[in-house]
Amino acid sequence: FRGAVVIAPGNHDWLSAASPYRQPIWPENVRIFLGRGMERLTLPELGCTVYGAAFTAPEEPELVWYAFRFSYPEGQRLYGLHGFDDQARWQLTVYDDSRPTPAWFGRGITYQIFPDRFCRLSLPDPTGLVGNRWVHENWNDQPVWAPDPDGEVRNRDFFGGSLNGITAKLDDLAALGVTVLYLNPIFESASNHRYNTADYLRIDPMLGTEEDFRRLCREAKQRGIRVILDGVFNHTGSQSRYFNADGFYPGVGAAQSTDSPYFNWFSFHPWPTDYDAWWGIMTLPAVQENEPDYRDFIIRGQDSVVRHWLRAGASGWRLDVADELPDGFIAEIRTAMEETAPDSFLLGEVWEDATTKVAYSQRRRYLLGHELHGVMNYPFRTALIAYLRGGDADDFRETLEALRENYPPEAFLSLMNFLGTHDTPRILTVLGADNVPDSKADRAVYCLSPAQRQIGLERLRLAALILFTFPGAPTVYYGDEAAMEGWEDPLNRAGYPWEQEDTDLKAHFAELARFRRSFPALQAGVLHWIWTSGPLLIFARELDGQLLTTVVNAADVSQALSLPWSAPPARDLLTGQRFIPTDNAISLTLPPRSGLLLQTDLP
């Protein structure tokens, strides 16, 4: 690592860069001074002095913070991330790159499916299955959102989507440009979201069988599509065969006997009615991930859960609530995956900067080379929505540039970028609504007005343009490309609107996916920020002489600009319009809420 700072005008007696190790704040007793190794170069023609230093990073992967220290006759000052600030330092992420990151995820296009709500081939019979389930006969019904008489939302209403339904739509997904399917949980469970796993080694019967899953993976692979599964390893369901609170399963669960083989998986105080549960939700008893028998079952055993489903055809895992899984647990999953399927991908649910994430008073080590390959990029979604709804483009740049500075390059290119997920309101609703209704009852019946929907669609087209041209894996939550509406869970989990899609929007997504797959620069090219101010966002991707430039005007009025352009003439891939530079610039007039994707080949 090399750091440098330019001092202008004049000269200074000395300058040192300092790096605290493993500490977010500079303790006085942990400091590495680089004054002796400073290089000094005076440039009188520029009226400035340049100082530089070389720093050897620690061998162990870790975070290092650094700043420049100035000494004046009147005292010392530190120059860091935000200028002269005693607290804000630059971050250096020291990581191990000896274990390669599979490139197929970051270069591909991911489609997230909530299995119960994607495609139903027949009406299933829930009789005899775990949980008091029932099935909507009408596919277009609204999911049940209101609490039951006990004040709980139990998520026992099903629509009957299945694995065979997904297989039947693989040609549609391939036409959309999809290369990766991310499936929300598919294992046996009492609820429609299936995050309260009942049996990790059995496909939920309403979704199909293990052979149905294997066939889905085989046929997807024939179309160049891989499958990633959702691993919910922090908690199980209270009705699971491991806890078995209601005695549904024939074996003895932890809630039934202290002699249960699963008893040590859970933490009781006292047994059997008081136990650790995820966020205090008693239907989700938390497991003790450090229990050796549990690790054997999930990870270590030759037919462990992680290994079994990789051998069945899965190409990776997404770890639910990764911040609640111990680092060692995640590291063992990574090792087991590399041993079982060397090109498999490990993704984590992390809502913040994954390099500085602190959970349970521990700074997490997700992206230092031994755990996750990539994470879900919630900061991307938050910053993009703020920009498209009237924010400053430079705030978007600042958010994403901070991640690029902090993340290893492989991890930055492997981010799961998205506009929405099963945990967020539908993106069209967010971009079109003037405000959020106060009550859930009001949100449940809410629909965008024609004018709001039009604005939302225009903004969504821009959001998709940015999503598909930015570094990372563009990810589409099922139905967003079809213009589905809805506020939060479960209003964002309705059935896919087959034969009722917004065909123009879906074609726009498919076209952007085609560009992404056609131009390597959009998959792995270097990111250049060209202009980020107010409503104008302009960035480029460059690789091997290929240059793709994304130009976006998020304003409600037209914007005229002169874009510096020393390259050959450009063509807008969206309209086919050609732009010939004059005096090393391209003159553009962007209508309200519009964008361009300029393509040219560099000499």
157 is catalytic: no
* Percentage helix, strand, coil for the chain under 3-state DSSP, each rounded to 5: 25, 25, 45
Structure tokens at 203: 């496909």
Structure tokens at 108: 């591909």
d(CA 72, CA 42): 18
Contact 320, 193 (CB under 8 A): no
320 is catalytic: yes
The separation between the first and the last C-alpha atoms of the chain, rounded to the nearest angstrom, is 32
Structure tokens at 390: 């009237």
What is the DSSP code string of 282-338?
A: TTSBBB-TT-HHHHIIIIISTT-HHHHHHHTT--EEEETTGGGS-HHHHHHHHHHHH
What value does the CA radius of gyration of the chain take, rounded to a whole number of Å?
Answer: 26
d(CA 62, CA 331): 15
β-pairing, 75-80 vs 62-72, is antiparallel
Contacts with 171 (C-beta within 8 Å, 6 or more apart), sequence order? 223
Side-chain half-sphere exposure of 265, counting CA atoms within 13 A? 30
Using left for φ > 0, alpha for ψ between -120 and 50, and beta otherwise, residue 224 falls in left
Query: Angle, nearest 10°, between helix axes 378-388 and 450-469?
Result: 130
Catalytic residue (choose from 212, 320, 480, 481): 320
Q: Helices (H) and strands (E) in the chain — how many of each?
A: 15, 30
Question: Is the C-alpha dihedral spanning 275, 276, 282, 284 positive or negative?
Answer: negative
Side-chain half-sphere exposure of 122, counting CA atoms within 13 A? 6
Catalytic residue (choose from 204, 349, 410, 485): 349
Contact 34, 17 (CB under 8 A): yes
For residue 311, with 0-12 CB atoms within 10 Å meaning exposed, 13-18 middle and 19 or more buried, which class applies? exposed
Query: How many other C-beta atoms lie within 10 A of the C-beta of residue 89?
Result: 23
**Kind and range of the H or E run holding 397:** helix 393-406
d(CA 535, CA 554): 5
Report the catalytic residues: 320, 349
